[in-house]
Structure 1
Amino acid sequence: MTSYAIVGSGWRAEYFWRLADELDCLGVVSRGPKELPVPVFTSLDECLARKPDFVVTATPWQVTPGLIRELVGHGVRVLAETPPAPDLDGLRALWHDVGESGLVQVAEQYSRMPAHAARLALARSGAIGNITRVDVSSTHQYHAVASMRAFLGAARGPVEVRAMRSSALLADPLSRAGWAAEVETKPAVTTHATVVFPEGLGVYDFTDNQWHNQLLHRRLLVRGTRGELQDQDVLRLTGEKTIVSTPIVRRQTGYDLDLDGFDTDHLTFGSDVLYRNPYQGRRWNDEEIAIATLLRDTAAWARDEGPAPYPLADGIEDHRIALAIEEAADRDAVVRTGAEAWH
């Protein structure tokens, strides 16, 4: 059985020990004593003495680069939380130090979420032709860039970025902590950006707290040369004078008199199954399914039985472009990224 350990004990780390599935979570390295459902190590050396096949770094941005270097120095494979370093200098230094080791993957899970995995399968099938544009309005920075690059099939390389920010009043009823005791209507900043890749256009649209504020729709548009996917709806040219509208449909059990329990079964496009839940019966939400899938894929890579789940170079590229979006908005100027060592 593949074993792994986690450095960090915050809310994000909890996902990684809770979703071990058929893997062996050896425990967590924590700065202080904690009562957790897995063993707690007081030092990294104590953890590494157990010889995990890989280590997850669920640590703050500023801590992660040094921890990655230390683990790679021990010859340990790493799954690093996003982003792998906080700023451009940090990204470049981290790549210089460990990039060629081949030991570091990044915990970018969005392409493994059931809805996104189904959309990616549809886009890659050619049903809407070659993909030329991707609009993301659901998540921020490197996650949004990773989604753009995945749908466009964009390689690592220079891009051109334009961005602006706007502010408007918006009710804010929910946060990570849950419902607000009293709902405030307050200014919320939206960042709009375009990212021109050689493979096509990425459009970025993110509003403060959009992850949690259920008043805001999550939107994804993928445009191809023969049609367009918008969220679950697909328009496409299928023949002479023939435009067809077909939805992507999720089969969700547990409604009404369905006594199988609440769970995602599969997502289909007509009669084609785009995605099938590999963890049916666990009753996991989409984020949990995605992280469990990422852990499974990382375990296969650690055993040299599968491809790299998300190489460090891609995680660095995602955040480098995210930094360019913020820079373009800050300066109100076009930002062009240059060639980098990880390209």
Structure 2
Amino acid sequence: MKKIRFGLIGSGWRAEFYIRIAKAIPDQFELTSVLIRDKEKGEVFSKKFDVKVVNSIDELINDHPHYVVLSIKRGVVTDYLIDLFRRGIPVLCETPPGESKEALETLWDQYKKYDAKVQIAEQYFYQPLYASWLKVIEDGKLGELENINISSLHGYHGVSIIRKFFNIGFDNCVIYGKRFHFNLTETYGRGGIVHDGEITSCPRDRLTLEFDQGKVAFFDFSDPAQYHSFIRTRQLTIQGVRGEIDDLTVRYLTDENIPVTQNLNRIDYGLYNNQEWAHAGIMLGEEYVYKNPFQYTRLNDDEIAVATCMLKMDEYLKTGKEFYTLQDALQDMYISLMMDEALKNPNQEIKTSKRSWT
């Protein structure tokens, strides 16, 4: 199998995912170089991660990557994307692609102008659990979906799952809700486990999104508690006319209208005397609803999802098959911005409208 060669722009926490993936699956991925404009910072980064660091886009491209991964701060991502569009460089961009409605519109205009090759690394629906939920939905077990309650992902990530699960395209919606604040004892962060018992006030956003087709999403998220806490978890409920997903439990009717209740069962190697250590897949009853495409590789769920985006990007360049388009990313970020607007105006209805990319 020919290796997928990619360059990387960025040196933050998220960019490190791509380095770990390349090192974990060297027979599939090859990191050509990392662009860090600050020379001193780049030298430190190069030694820390044992990667080649360059200081300009020209140097990055001279290493002949098949595509470039853009993983930088939100405030400058639009300018970088447009520069890559102008140069004709295929790009896999971390979300979000912009942070204002004006930036989103500009980006779409530039994308059309240069006929750019771009996909967005919105990875959550490739995570094992989300992929399993999606497979249950696509198999038709729940019938027509009518409402979803999601309490696991913030902003545009949550919106992407809502739109993907509902399969509603670019439907407009009415949004209303409110932000609350609740105290929480710190237990975990990006730096590891915390034992000092510090209590902080965490915002909790509760929003309702009513789409034109009549489908309703109830959005509930506490940031950053639900990403980094041992005493807060994620929750998901999806209800269709013939069944529901209640987190890890799936209830549905057979063709003979016999009610069935089954649980999603995660299969991992390396547990209880097994010598491997990796994720295998997720089963519902006797069938796999998800199989890890990187069997026996030591990746966490988010790394599996990001690596899947990297594979999909290679397929897109070879076949033209898209997996998460710029249009979808712009729409998800636009709705997320309108959700922010709704939070600034508690319990007032905010209506989305058609945009240039729709």
Q: TM-score, normalised by structure 1?
A: 0.95
**Aligned residue in 1 for 2:217:** 202
Distance 2:57 2:92 in 1: 15
Residue in structure 1 matching 2:95, options 75, 82, 103: 82
**Aligned residue in 1 for 2:165:** 151
Report SS of the residue matched to 1:182: coil
Structure-to-structure mapping, 1:157-236, within 5 angstroms:
157-199=171-213, 200-209=215-224, 210-236=226-252
Distance 2:264 2:130 in 1: 11
* Conserved? CA contact 1:99–1:342, under 8 Å: no
* Conserved? CA contact 2:206–2:219, under 8 Å: yes
Deviations 1:112-139 (A, max 9, x none): 0011111101111001111222221111
**Aligned residue in 1 for 2:19:** 17
* 1:268 corresponds to 2:283: yes
Q: Give the C-alpha shift of residue 147 in structure 1.
A: 0.6
Report SS of the residue matched to 1:83: coil
* Conserved? CA contact 1:223–1:229, under 8 Å: yes
Residue in structure 1 matching 2:265, options 246, 249, 252: 249
**Aligned residue in 2 for 1:296:** 311
* Conserved? CA contact 2:338–2:350, under 8 Å: yes
Deviations 1:172-227 (A, max 9, x none): 22111222352212221100011122341111101121211121121111111101
- Report the AA paired with residue 307 of structure 2: A
Distance 1:179 1:212 in 2: 9
Distance 1:284 1:318 in 2: 27
* 1:133 corresponds to 2:147: yes
Structure-to-structure mapping, 1:86-125, within 5 angstroms:
86-99=99-112, 101-125=115-139
Higher deviation after alignment, 226-235 or 191-200: 191-200
Q: Give the C-alpha shift of residue 283 in structure 1.
A: 2.0
**Aligned residue in 2 for 1:6:** 8
Deviations 1:213-270 (A, max 9, x none): 12112111111110100111011122566321111111122222323x2322121112
Report SS of the residue matched to 1:26: strand
- Report the AA paired with residue 280 of structure 1: Q
Report SS of the residue matched to 2:280: strand
Q: Give the C-alpha shift of residue 95 in structure 1.
A: 1.1
Q: Give the C-alpha shift of residue 148 in structure 1.
A: 0.5
Distance 1:19 1:288 in 2: 7
Q: Give the C-alpha shift of residue 50 in structure 1.
A: 2.4
* Conserved? CA contact 1:154–1:198, under 8 Å: no
Q: Give the C-alpha shift of residue 53 in structure 1.
A: 1.7
Distance 1:222 1:192 in 2: 17
Distance 2:174 2:265 in 1: 35
- Structure 1 residues 71 and 215, CA, compared in 2 at 3 Å: closer, same or farther? same
Deviations 1:270-305 (A, max 9, x none): 222111111121121101111111101111112x23
Distance 1:174 1:159 in 2: 35
Give ranges in structure 2 of 5+ residues lacking alignment.
none
Distance 2:258 2:296 in 1: 41
Identity of aligned residues (%): 29
- Report the AA paired with residue 168 of structure 1: F
Distance 1:6 1:131 in 2: 39
Runs of 4+ in 1 over 6 A off after TM superposition: none
* Conserved? CA contact 1:99–1:313, under 8 Å: no
Give ranges in structure 1 of 5+ residues lacking alignment.
none
Count of aligned residue pairs for this structure pair: 341
Residue in structure 2 matching 1:39, options 44, 52, 56: 52
* Conserved? CA contact 2:178–2:207, under 8 Å: yes
RMSD across aligned positions (CA):
1.5
Q: Kindly indicate which of the two structures has a greater share of residues assigned to helix.
A: 2
**Aligned residue in 2 for 1:26:** 32
